[in-house]
Amino acid sequence: MELRMVLKYTSLKQKDLDYLTFILRNGIVTAKQIRVKFEEPTLTRVYSRVRKLMAKGFVKYERIAPKVGVYYGSREARDVTNADVTVPSKATIYTIQHALLMNDLLLYHEFLFEKEGIEFQYQTEREIRFKALGQGSQQNRLQEYNQIRDRIPDAIFVIKKRDGTPIRVWVELELNKKDRKRYDEKFKLFDDLLLNGQFDQIRYFTNLVQIKNAVNKAKRKLVNDSKVVVRDIPEEILNDRWEEVKSRGKN
């Protein structure tokens, strides 16, 4: 159903649909991330709109720690927005840190490229997973996902160069060091992706020296080893200094 028809025959506003699309694309989000994304003046504005969406069954809320509450979309929200994403069945403390930090990385780059006047788009893991697995039963999709999880990036960046040429970047947010065998297997995949031109760069984000060393060691076996880069997780998002991100661009 086209979004304008949704707006005509429901009490939803365009901003409601924008909220739902953002929540669905990113899977699990905080109120603060919604505020940053839409540059809302206060968190109260966010809470008010999200409560409306919760009352309609489009958004679910879960408190997973004393000071951490998150929102995620329902299947009804996916139906009304027609978003091609997988929908989480619940939020757990085991996946929350990675998911929320990945959201911050996406917002960070979105703001910076906008300030630089560079066209930037991204695909989230939820969108990539949906494209790979579709809408089968929860159990079947989980089994399939476990079989191909290392072939699904945490995100894909598409960055337009000044001359209009797109650069496709496979993005990994690495918070825990994996064993050597797993790195070797993953980097064989990267070698193929870079050689056949599916991606132009592999970009790791981590602040752990052990992971940086493991990635730099694994990439030495690649033909295109220079196309695998490791970058620190920006201090601005780790310390919630979003005003700095929004106020200036960086190369």
What pLDDT score was predicted for residue 107? 97
pTM confidence score: 0.88
For residue 225, give the DSSP letter. G
pLDDT in tens, 50-83: 999 999 999 999 998 787 899 999 999 999 998 9
From CA 115, how far away is CA 75, in angstroms rounded? 35
Question: Is the pLDDT assigned to residue 91 strictly greater than 80?
Answer: no
In terms of DSSP H, where are the helices of 117-208?
125-133, 138-148, 180-195
What pLDDT score was predicted for residue 145? 47
* Cβ-based neighbours of 75, under 8 Å, separated by 6 or more: 87
Dihedral (C-alpha) 151, 102, 2, 136: value to the nearest 10 degrees?
40
From CA 50, how far away is CA 60, in angstroms rounded? 9
Residue linked to tokens 């506003």 = 13
* Cβ-based neighbours of 18, under 8 Å, separated by 6 or more: 38
All domains in the chain, ordered by first residue:
1-91 (1.10.10.10), 96-251 (no CATH)
Residue 251 binned pLDDT confidence (cut-offs 50, 70, 90): very low
What does each C-alpha distance from 15 to 6, 38, 46 come to in angstroms?
12, 9, 11
Q: Report the mean per-residue pLDDT for the chain.
A: 88
81-115 CB burial, b ≥16 within 10 A, e <16: bebebbbbeebeeeebebbbbbbbbbbbbbbbbee
What pLDDT score was predicted for residue 83? 93
Question: Is the pLDDT assigned to residue 250 strictly greater than 90?
Answer: no
* Cβ-based neighbours of 212, under 8 Å, separated by 6 or more: 204, 206, 230
* Cβ-based neighbours of 37, under 8 Å, separated by 6 or more: 22, 107
* Cβ-based neighbours of 145, under 8 Å, separated by 6 or more: 129, 132, 133, 152
What pLDDT score was predicted for residue 77? 95
In terms of DSSP H, where are the helices of 1-137?
3-9, 14-26, 31-38, 43-55, 75-81, 93-116, 125-133
Range among 90-94, 129-133, 237-241 with highest mean pLDDT value: 237-241
What does each C-alpha distance from 134 to 1, 38, 75, 142, 185 come to in angstroms?
19, 29, 13, 11, 25
pLDDT in tens, 169-209: 999 999 999 888 889 889 999 999 999 999 999 999 999 99
For residue 173, give the DSSP letter. E
What pLDDT score was predicted for residue 248? 65
* Cβ-based neighbours of 238, under 8 Å, separated by 6 or more: none
